[in-house]
Amino acid sequence: MVLTGAVIGTLAAWLVHFGNPKNMGICVACFIRDIAGAIGLHQASVVQYIRPEIPGFILGAFIIALTNREFRPFGGSSPLTRFFLGTLVMVGALVFLGCPLRMILRLAGGDFNALLGIAGFTSGIAGGTYFLRQGFTLGRSYRQPTVNGYLLPLAAVGLITFLILQPSFIAFSEKGPGAAHAPLLIALSAGLLVGILAQRSRICLAGGLRDLILIRDPHLVIGFLSIFAFALVFNLALGNFGPAGFAGQPIAHNDGLWNFLGMALAGLGSVLLGGCPLRQTILAGEGNTDSAVTFLGMLTGAALAHNFGLAASPAGVPASGKIAVVVGLVVTIGIAFASISRVATTAKKGAMSVGA
């Protein structure tokens, strides 16, 4: 766990060194957003690029899961609900401007706005654990025909192919964050390595705080701390750090309230989904088709966030983005409550059939 965090933190710092945007060595939300732009799902010209790290995560997890016989095509645990939760998690993350992983990397780069994000994320997770205690569940999953588990890894190969061939229908940013990227082979290798380690260690940014609050288990949160420590050390060593503060941070805004609420939405949604965007991506590689659907939900969320002008920018959070976060929180809490009552009925039915 410490090792996985160390590798993620170190690689994130080096990826910035090799050309990725500042404080964005690895960001699952931002990179999915860039991919959504590259394949034409949104037209924000500054954030369009096929980030090889994402297909790298999926394929790394896929290969290691196959090797260890942990590849299991399963699914059917409320896929549609997961799709929408994934969409909302992405909207929250893009109002903050980063997934939970980038939140740590931002802090490790001297961006104190991340502190409000962490406070919001923790609140969202604490809220989510309330629902878990009440018996929240999205229902059980079932074995799926094997081909289901191969589709997302296959799509990942397709994305890498597009990146290499650069066909005219794929958009690549000429300026902005989308134009800043590490060389393909370095980024892809880093993605594969992180995918493998994250699959082995089950590292999860949301799970860390969740387990700490819910069952007082620090196992996963150690990964969280390890990422921070190693990213900080290497940011300092490579000259990526700071100047520290709130104003003028790279690809960030300093509207504290919306940094807090954006990450609260991402945290709550992640707990209900059973994992942060990174973990969902890894699980999708292992054959978890519910997580694969969540991934597609996140891709859709990223596209909508830019098509509807919800996503924040260094200029701040647009009014529509604020409305979206509030609506997102209301809908997510609504889903959480609804999924408790459904469980109660299922449990009763289950008990009857056992007795019969």
Q: Which residues bind another protein (CB under 8 A)?
A: 68, 70, 72, 74, 77, 132-133, 137-138, 140-143, 202, 207, 210-211, 214-215, 217, 219, 274-275, 288, 290
With a CB cutoff of 8 Å and minimum separation 6, the contacts of 217 are 211
121 or 230: CB nearest another protein: 121
34 or 211: CB nearest another protein: 211
With contact defined as beta carbons under 8 Å apart, do 59 and 192 qualify?
A: yes
Looking up tokens 């410490």, which residue turns up?
A: 2
Residue type, 21: P
Q: How far is the CB of 239 from another protein (least distance, A)?
A: 38
What 3-state DSSP class applies to 9? helix
Q: How far is the CB of 352 from another protein (least distance, A)?
A: 15
Gap between the Cα atoms of 279 and 207, Å rounded:
9
141 or 148: CB nearest another protein: 141
177 or 274: CB nearest another protein: 274
Q: How far is the CB of 215 from another protein (least distance, A)?
A: 6
17 or 219: CB nearest another protein: 219
Residue type, 109: G
Q: How far is the CB of 262 from another protein (least distance, A)?
A: 24
Gap between the Cα atoms of 39 and 28, Å rounded:
17
With contact defined as beta carbons under 8 Å apart, do 299 and 37 qualify?
A: no
Whole-Å CA distances, 31 to 34, 97, 145, 214, 352 = 5, 11, 30, 30, 47
Q: How far is the CB of 137 from another protein (least distance, A)?
A: 6
148 or 307: CB nearest another protein: 148
With a CB cutoff of 8 Å and minimum separation 6, the contacts of 151 are 292
Q: How far is the CB of 294 from another protein (least distance, A)?
A: 11
Gap between the Cα atoms of 134 and 337, Å rounded:
9
With a CB cutoff of 8 Å and minimum separation 6, the contacts of 188 are 52, 53, 55, 56, 160
143 or 348: CB nearest another protein: 143
b/e for 133-159, b at 16 or more Cβ within 10 A?
A: eeebbbeebeebeeebbeebbeebeeb
197 or 324: CB nearest another protein: 197
How far does the chain reach from its first CA to its final CA, in angstroms?
Answer: 46
Q: How far is the CB of 164 from another protein (least distance, A)?
A: 33
DSSP for 305-349 reads HHHTT-S-BTTB--HHHHHHHHHHHHHHHHHHHHHHHHHHHHHHH
Q: How far is the CB of 116 from another protein (least distance, A)?
A: 26
With contact defined as beta carbons under 8 Å apart, do 315 and 324 qualify?
A: no
16 or 64: CB nearest another protein: 64
19 or 142: CB nearest another protein: 142
Q: How far is the CB of 28 from another protein (least distance, A)?
A: 18
Gap between the Cα atoms of 237 and 222, Å rounded:
22
Q: How far is the CB of 271 from another protein (least distance, A)?
A: 9
